[in-house]
Every structure is written in structure tokens, then in C-alpha cells.
Chain A
Amino acid sequence: MNNKLLGKSLIIFSFLSVVLIISALVFMLLEIYLGGRSFLTWEFLTQPPKEGMTAGGIFPAIVGTVLLVIIMSVACIPIGTITAIYLNEYSNKKSVFTRMIRFAVNTLSGVPSIVFGLFGLGFFIQFVGSGMDKIFTPDGELNWGQPNILWASMTMAFLTIPIVIVSVEEALKAVPDDLRAGSLALGATKWQTIRKVVVPNSLSGILTGSILAIGRGAGEVAPILFTGAAYFLPHLPSELTDQFMNLGYHIYVMTTQSTNVEATRGIQYATAFVLLLCTFSLSFTAIVIRYRFRKKLTS
């Protein structure tokens, strides 16, 4: 009797939890959309901030975010993909080396984003950047040893590599062994098999991983707080040593540091909505690709 009640309530409460989570999601979305609705115009997307950041748009922040994820992708997608190929195709699953790498990947995905920020500051800026400056400009001029878009992107790449690895590995695992065996039987070497058979068959996984990584990179703020994001820049970044504006960082500074918080409330909401739209549509695309891919596999 009691057990039955327990069972019923388990079903009911678990259902309610789902409802609660989804309604929280929808509520946040609606609140942010309604708050920023009146500001969401074409001008808002294509104009720089004006009147001391109390009017105008967010164009430089959008450009900065896009540049950030592009430079980040150049580093994180190849490294992530190759690591996944190693883990799935070459490695001896039981060897210490493989387990070490697997553990490293898991750990990397759990490291707090702010620690990546510290790392970027300590490694890229203070060590690599300053080192480069010592070599290229011995007269003490500072070029690379300061926050800029390159170091911010590299820091972000470290953060997103595990996402690519996980996604690509899943796709690699789904490639049937028959295909590999067939290719090898025809006399192809292992590398040829991977290049011509395995990778083309897991392109969707690489794509999914890349999209998820880009979505994550576009939304994270903590790693770029002190590696390159700028409060306000009158110019778009034109070199790798320039700082940049960023959508997420823009939300943060506008809500806490703008000259008139109440007057810019709409801008804050609208910026948050634009950022949400980016990350949502990216992860939605990833979900759709993966769903189709899985369906293709099962059919």
C-alpha cells in the first residue's frame, strides 16, 4: 500500500520536476525577450554604442564575439578532432597513456572557467606573450605580453577542446567496424582508412562538436575577463594584438558599470537576448544534426 503511494508520487514528482525545469527555461527566455523587445532593431545590431554607451547598438560586441570564436575554432577543432581520432582509432584502450589522456580530457572539462582565465593570464600573456616580446622587441616595448584577442581565443580554445573531443568520439564510435575492415581488406593502410573512410563518415560528429564548442565559446565570459575583453572600444579589432568587445562581457559591464543602469536596461535585455539567440540556435542546430545522424544509424 505504502509502496504504491511511493511509486505514484515518484512518477508525479518526477513529472513535476520536468515541468518545473522546462517552465524555468521558458520563463527566462520570455522575460529576456520581453525586456529587450523594443530595442531589437536592425540599427541595434549594426551600430556601435553611442552617447557614452547609453544609446546605439552592439555591433562591435558582435564582431568581437565572432572573431573570438573564429580564432578559437582554428585551434580547438583540429586538436579536438585529432585527439578523438587517436582515442578511438589508434589507442590501446587499456594502456596507461590512453587512460591518462582520457582522464585529462575529463578533468579539463571540469576545470572552472575562471581558472582558465587565470591560466591565460599566467601562461599566454605573462609567459608566451612576454617571451615573444623579449625576443622580437628587446627594447622593452610591449606587443604580445598584454591582453588581446589572440590570447583570449587561445584560452577559450583550451576550454572548448573537450567538447569537440566528446562529440567527435561519439561519431567515430558509431562508424561500423565493417567499413574499417572492408577498407583494410582492400589493402588500404590504417591512415588511409581513417582519412578516406572513417573521417568522412563521422563528419556530422565533427560538425556537431564544432558547433557546440562555438556556442560555448560565444557565451563564456570568465575566461576572457582578464585575457582580452574590453569595456569599450571605438574601433573594431584589426590585429591579433588588439583587444575586443564581447557580447557576454558587454552584458556584464552594462548591468554593473554603465553610467545609467535604468536607462540602459532595455539595451541589457536586448544584448542578453542576442547572445541567447546565438547560443540557442547553435546548440539547436547541433541537436538537430545529431538527431538526424542517430536516426540514420538506427534505420
Chain B
Amino acid sequence: MTEKEIAQKNSLRRKFRLSEFFAEYVIKSVAFLSFAMIILIFVFVFKETLPIFSPQQETKSNQEFLQSETYGEEPGSTSPEQQISEYSSLLSVKRDIADLDNLTGKEWQPVGEVPKYGLLPIIMGSLKVTLIAVFIGAPLAILAAIFSALFAPKKIKELIKPAVELLASFPSVVVGFFALVTLATFLQDMFGWTFRLNSFVGGLAMALAVIPIIYTVTEDAITAVPKYMKEASFALGANKWQTALFVILPAATPGVFAALLLGFGRAFGETMIVLMATGNAPLSSLNPFEPVRTLSATIGAEMAEVVFGDTHYTVLFLIGSLLFIVTFLINAIAEFYVRAKLMKRFRGE
């Protein structure tokens, strides 16, 4: 072998390694993106809320006079009452500060002389709709998961799972449309409610959105119960439902708990359904048959028209941060607490 050939071989080998090295690092950094995204989402949603935490001084109004112009109007063509509409009270906002006092108030009236950014009624509204959705959706989803995981013949099981997946692929705007157009009227005719759109209608429609997630996670939890537990139960003479009720379900409880948490998180952040079907009135009432306004619907309805950088704008981002933090915490609990508990249980402790 000549020296040249050896050199060539070595360079080839190095090239080889380089591409390996390169591939691994590219892949690793792309994978890192997911983590970066979470950070980015938090940073950029939270960033816009910062003005709230750093109270600014009152900006002095500029005294320099500039005439606002109109075009295409003959002078004197405006009648006095039309003049009024141009210099109305609202155009001069007197006190627009979102301090702690204002944010913990009981009124959500973000447009006005003294805007009120009380978050309590809309937080309550979100909780109300979410709880209704989970109370309706969870029993159905968990029972359905039990049926398909434990009792259903294989053929039927293979039908149920895709059906639930199809339900999951129902766009939420279509569910909202259905709730607004069909469900609300149907329920009002049936029960004679005063309010056609109320938190119950929204919650019921939302149940359709949380069923797939609760079903899937519960089903996974049940099938993850080790076979030996089932077999031991059968060996001791227990029948199918006894095994289900006293062996498998208790073992899968942490998983079911995780399913409930995730369902709660999904419902808490869902926007289009509540925006369309709950009436959006910022009431602080516990009555499920009165309209509500939720956190997510507030963002969805108000963001598009708000003046960028305004106090109202930052408060909407604050609501977004709140939604993010709540869902983040729910995920963290479902992830760490429940998984740890499941592992412990299955290792036999």
C-alpha cells in the first residue's frame, strides 16, 4: 500500500465519522427544538404581560395641536347629535391600569371610562364549564374504556376504538356549531330554560371533546395492568367482572386519575366550543343554567380588535399565561406524580 492510499483511506474514515457526528448533532438539536418551543411559548406569551408588573407613569398628553381632517364632507353638514358621537365619553379613558386590585375585582368590563379587568367571574366561568364537561364526559368515557378493554369481544373492540378516534377528529368549531345551532335550541325547548346559551350547553358540548382523551388514557391504563394480576385473579376463581372491579380497576386508578386531569386540562383551554355556545356573559354565579364567559373565549373574542400594546391587550396575554400555567401544571402532575405511583404499584409494593 502506498502512502497515498493510506492517506486516502484515513480521510475516508474521518469523513465517515464526521457525517456520523454531524447527523447525531443535527438530530439532537432538532429534538431540542421541542423543549425550546415550550420555553419560547412561555417567554413570548408572558413577555406581553410585563407592562402590568411594571407600573408606568401617567403619560402626559401632548399639547401640540393638530387638526384632524375629514374628506368628502361639505362644511356644516353634520347635525349636532352627530357631533356628540365624535366626542363621546369613551374616547377619553380616565384610568386604565391593571393593578392587583383591578384584576381581582368582580367585574369584567374592559372597555369603558374606567376599564374593569376583574378576572374572578371569568375564572369561575372557566371552572364551571370545565367541571360540567368532566362530570358528564368522564363517567361515559371511563365506562366506555372499561367496556372496550375488559368486556368487549375483539371484533367490537376494533370498532369502538376507531369510532372514538373519529370523535377526536371532530373539529371543535364544528362541535361548537352543532351546540349553537342544534343542541341549544333542543335543550331549551325540552327544559324551558330562560337562557338558551348557558354553561350547561357549553359543558355538554365540551364533554364530546374530552371523551376521546379520557377514553384513550383510561384504556391505556387498563391494558397496562400486568397480565399476571388478571391471571392470578382468574386462578383464584374470580369471574370476569369481579376481576375487573376488584383487581384491574384499582390497579389502574392512577391512570384513570391522569385521564381525568388531562381531560380537565383539555376542557379548560378549549376555545371555539365555549366561544360559540355559552353566551359569554361575565356573570359570577354558580347556576349551571346561566350564561358564562370563560378565559379562553375572552381571548378569542377580544384579541382581534384590541389596540396592540394597550392595557387590555396585556391583560388578555395575562389570561393566556394563566391558561398556559394551569395546563402546564396539570400535565406535570399527570406526568410525574401519576407515573411514579403507577410504577410503584406494578413493581408490587
Contact: B24 with A90, CB < 8 Å? yes
Contact: A105 with B44, CB < 8 Å? no
Contact mask for chain B residues 304-346; partner A; CB cutoff 8 A; 1 contact, 0 none: 1000100000001100100110011011100100000000000
Residue of A nearest to B272 (CB): A221
- Since A11-B151, A114-B271 are in contact, a sample of 4 more A-B pairs with Cβ atoms closer than 8 Å, ordered by chain A residue number, is A13-B143, A123-B40, A123-B41, A126-B308
In the assembled complex, A101 has its CB within 8 A of some CB on chain B: yes
Q: Which of B152, B165, B268 contacts A112 (CB 8 A)?
A: B268
Contact: B296 with A190, CB < 8 Å? no
How far apart are the CA atoms of A121 and B313 in the complex, in Å? 11
Shortest Cβ distance from residue B244 to the other chain A in the assembled complex, whole angstroms = 7
In the assembled complex, A136 has its CB within 8 A of some CB on chain B: no
In the assembled complex, A189 has its CB within 8 A of some CB on chain B: yes
In the assembled complex, A197 has its CB within 8 A of some CB on chain B: no
Residues of B within 8 A of A82 (CB): 26-27, 30-31
In the assembled complex, B221 has its CB within 8 A of some CB on chain A: no
Given A32-B174, A255-B181; A106-B331 close (CB under 8 Å): yes
Contact: A165 with B34, CB < 8 Å? yes
A-B contact pairs, 29 of them (CB 8 A): A3-B242, A14-B143, A17-B143, A17-B144, A17-B147, A21-B141, A32-B178, A82-B26, A82-B27, A82-B30, A87-B31, A91-B31, A97-B32, A107-B327, A110-B328, A110-B331, A111-B327, A114-B299, A118-B303, A119-B44, A161-B34, A191-B19, A221-B171, A225-B303, A268-B181, A279-B169, A282-B169, A284-B166, A291-B158
- CB interface residues, B 204-240, toward A, < 8 Å: 208, 211, 215, 239
How far apart are the CA atoms of A84 and B316 in the complex, in Å? 34
In the assembled complex, A73 has its CB within 8 A of some CB on chain B: no
Residues of A within 8 A of B119 (CB): none
In the assembled complex, A181 has its CB within 8 A of some CB on chain B: no
Contact: B173 with A10, CB < 8 Å? no
Residue of A nearest to B149 (CB): A14
Size of B's binding interface in residues, CB under 8 A? 89
Size of A's binding interface in residues, CB under 8 A? 89
Shortest Cβ distance from residue B259 to the other chain A in the assembled complex, whole angstroms = 13
Residue of A nearest to B265 (CB): A110
In the assembled complex, B190 has its CB within 8 A of some CB on chain A: no
Shortest Cβ distance from residue B298 to the other chain A in the assembled complex, whole angstroms = 10
How far apart are the CA atoms of A84 and B172 in the complex, in Å? 27
Residues of A within 8 A of B316 (CB): 118
Contact: B47 with A6, CB < 8 Å? no
Contact: A10 with B166, CB < 8 Å? no
In the assembled complex, B195 has its CB within 8 A of some CB on chain A: no
